[in-house]
Amino acid sequence: MPTAKLEGSPALKTTVMFEGIRFSDALGAAAEHSLPNYFPYRFKKGEHDPTGKGKASIPYLINTDDDTLIRVLGNGDSPWSVMGNREDGYKLLHDSNPADAVDIRFEPLHDWMQDNTSDGFPIAQAGVSTHGDMMVINVAPGCEYFLNKVNGNSMRCTFCSYGAPDQRTAHLGQKAGQVTIPELTLARMREAMNAVTAETDIKHIYLVGGSLTDPEQEGERFLQLARAVQENNPKNIPVTLGSGALPEETLQQFYDERLVDAVCFNLEIWSEKLFSQVCPGKNNYVGYNEWIASLETAVGLWGRGRVYSAMVAGIELEPEHGMEWQEAAELAGQGVNDLCSRGIVPIYSLYYPVGGKERSDYQSRLRNFFEHLALNYRDVRKQHGLEIWDGFMCHRCAYMQLECDIDRTQA
Ligand code: SF4
């Protein structure tokens, strides 16, 4: 199987996602006015550390001049670095070719992130966030799969870092076993939405949250959330339902009330065997075939091109699954074909393996897999007449996915 080659912005994005960026004074200074990265930069042994603390804040997202969005991964071994400053602009450069530096900006630290709601609550903690022109609403992030075991095995998805509803979700009023979202949480959410849309031209709203073990109850919670969001969406910004797979009657209710414009129920991984291993909770409480059936029901309601499934691209290369990248790519390719033939559009997000920077063999296999999949996937989507609807996502908000970037390059 030949190794695929990307070109243009998708190639730069992939390279920087995989190789990361090493620390520079400019990158550290940019952190002061940029959306902060969830993961601080950790200096490697022997690396010059101007902070003296072993770690430093760095920005989360880069924007290139053609509006390609790239997530920043700190890596002391990377040939990529950033120079410049806020006034004159920043450049991203590769050690081997500094003359070809690329002009970049960083996703800014928005004013609303430092503001409070009318009852004095920090808006940044109100369950609303942005990346590019997408507003993500997540007012109940705790996932009950983290609380449950079956035959001694945790029901959480193996790659997930959400966590259970506990003290970390208490500021949102989320408690284990409680289906309803507190009215105070929704009121703060509405204020946060208003603050965001006053500052940023939002093109997509994405509703997400942790799962409940009962899909009907999960549907109830998302119905409540979607109603509250639509009551506060005067510009009719397209809304996507990012819950788990829901029962048919619940989907019909979403459709009849015109609460969402698209859905995205994340199957995460193709094949029943891998699904049961990677997503034991989804497999146990919903089921693999039922998950796909729910996506098909959604296609019947919202139509082809409005139904998506995020996939964790590359988790199949973890050692416990015993697959070489070619085998994994072939299996993923079967998933692409099958899902697209049902009118379901998979979206592949790059999986960052734990300790990935130290696992260079894994990195090269993962990169071959990801590039091969990304390039071949567009042709399959085209064959099935499926485009990524720009109300769902676009190149301005996709920071770990290539579909929109490749579509744009090849258009
Ligand atoms: S269902 Fe979602 S939130 Fe829960 S463990 Fe899986 S990926 Fe994480």
Is residue 157 in contact with ligand 1, taking CB distance under 6 Å? yes
Q: How confident is the model at residue 4 (pLDDT cuts 50, 70, 90)?
A: low
Please write down the HEC assignment for all residues of 314-376.
Answer: CHHHCHHHCCCHHHHHHHHHHHHHHHHHCCCEEEEEECCCCCHHHCHHHHHHHHHHHHHHHHH
Atom of ligand 1 nearest to the CA of 141: 3
Is residue 160 in contact with ligand 1, taking CB distance under 6 Å? yes
Atom of ligand 1 nearest to the CA of 279: 6
What does the chain come to in residues? 411
pLDDT of residue 359: 67
Q: How far is the CA of 236 from the centre of ligand 1 (A)?
A: 28
305 Rama sector, left if φ>0, alpha if ψ -120 to 50, beta otherwise? left
**pTM for this prediction:** 0.95
Q: How far is the CA of 333 from the centre of ligand 1 (A)?
A: 24
Residue 302 has pLDDT above 90, yes or no: yes
Instruction: Give the model confidence (pLDDT) of 60-102 as tens digits.
Output: 999 999 999 999 999 999 999 999 999 999 999 999 999 999 9
For the chain, what is the mean pLDDT? 95
Fold of 115-410: TIM Barrel (3.20.20)
Residue 358 has pLDDT above 80, yes or no: no
Is residue 210 in contact with ligand 1, taking CB distance under 6 Å? yes
Q: How far is the CA of 160 from the centre of ligand 1 (A)?
A: 6
By alpha-carbon position, which residue is closest to atom 2 of ligand 1?
Answer: 210
pLDDT of residue 411: 74
Contact 204, 133 (CB under 8 A): yes
One-letter identity of residue 176: A
One-letter identity of residue 118: S
Closest CA to 72 of 56, 87, 86: 56
Is residue 280 in contact with ligand 1, taking CB distance under 6 Å? no
> DSSP state, 44?
P
CA-only gyration radius of the chain, Å: 21
Atom of ligand 1 nearest to the CA of 156: 5
Q: What are the structural domain ranges in the chain?
A: 8-106, 115-410
pLDDT of residue 355: 61
Residue 361 has pLDDT above 70, yes or no: yes
Ligand 1 site-directed mutation target among 149, 160, 246, 278, most atoms within 8 Å of CB: 160
> DSSP state, 32?
G
Ligand 1 site-directed mutation target among 136, 138, 145, 208, most atoms within 8 Å of CB: 145
pLDDT of residue 330: 96
Instruction: Give the model confidence (pLDDT) of 106-157 as tens digits.
Output: 999 999 999 999 999 999 999 999 999 999 999 999 999 999 999 999 999 9
Is residue 243 in contact with ligand 1, taking CB distance under 6 Å? no
By alpha-carbon position, which residue is closest to atom 3 of ligand 1?
Answer: 210
Instruction: Give the model confidence (pLDDT) of 144-202 as tens digits.
Output: 999 999 999 999 999 998 899 999 999 999 999 999 999 999 999 999 999 999 999 99
Atom of ligand 1 nearest to the CA of 282: 1
Q: Going by DSSP bridges, is the β-strand pair 239-241/204-207 parallel, antiparallel, or unpaired?
A: parallel
Atom of ligand 1 nearest to the CA of 160: 8
Is residue 145 in contact with ligand 1, taking CB distance under 6 Å? yes
Three-state DSSP at 311 gives strand
Averaged pLDDT for residues 246-263: 98
Is residue 41 in contact with ligand 1, taking CB distance under 6 Å? no
Q: How far is the CA of 145 from the centre of ligand 1 (A)?
A: 7
Q: How far is the CA of 307 from the centre of ligand 1 (A)?
A: 19
Q: How far is the CA of 132 from the centre of ligand 1 (A)?
A: 23
> How far apart, in whole angstroms, are the C-alpha atoms of residue 353 and residue 301?
36
Cβ atoms within 10 Å, residue 300 = 14
Closest CA to 410 of 4, 7, 62: 7
Is residue 156 in contact with ligand 1, taking CB distance under 6 Å? yes
Range with the lowest mean pLDDT among 3-12, 37-46, 290-299?
3-12
CB neighbour list of residue 293: distance below 8 Å, 6 or more residues apart = none
Contact 220, 140 (CB under 8 A): no
Residue 354 has pLDDT above 90, yes or no: no
CB neighbour list of residue 373: distance below 8 Å, 6 or more residues apart = 313, 329, 332, 333, 336, 348
Strand partners, 63: 69, 105
Q: Residue 180: which H helix or E strand, with range?
A: none
Atom of ligand 1 nearest to the CA of 210: 3
pLDDT of residue 227: 98
Q: How far is the CA of 218 from the centre of ligand 1 (A)?
A: 13
Residue 286 has pLDDT above 90, yes or no: yes
Is residue 291 in contact with ligand 1, taking CB distance under 6 Å? no
Burial class (CB in 10 A: 0-12, 13-18, 19+), 73: buried
Largest CA distance in the chain: 61
By alpha-carbon position, which residue is closest to atom 4 of ligand 1?
Answer: 143
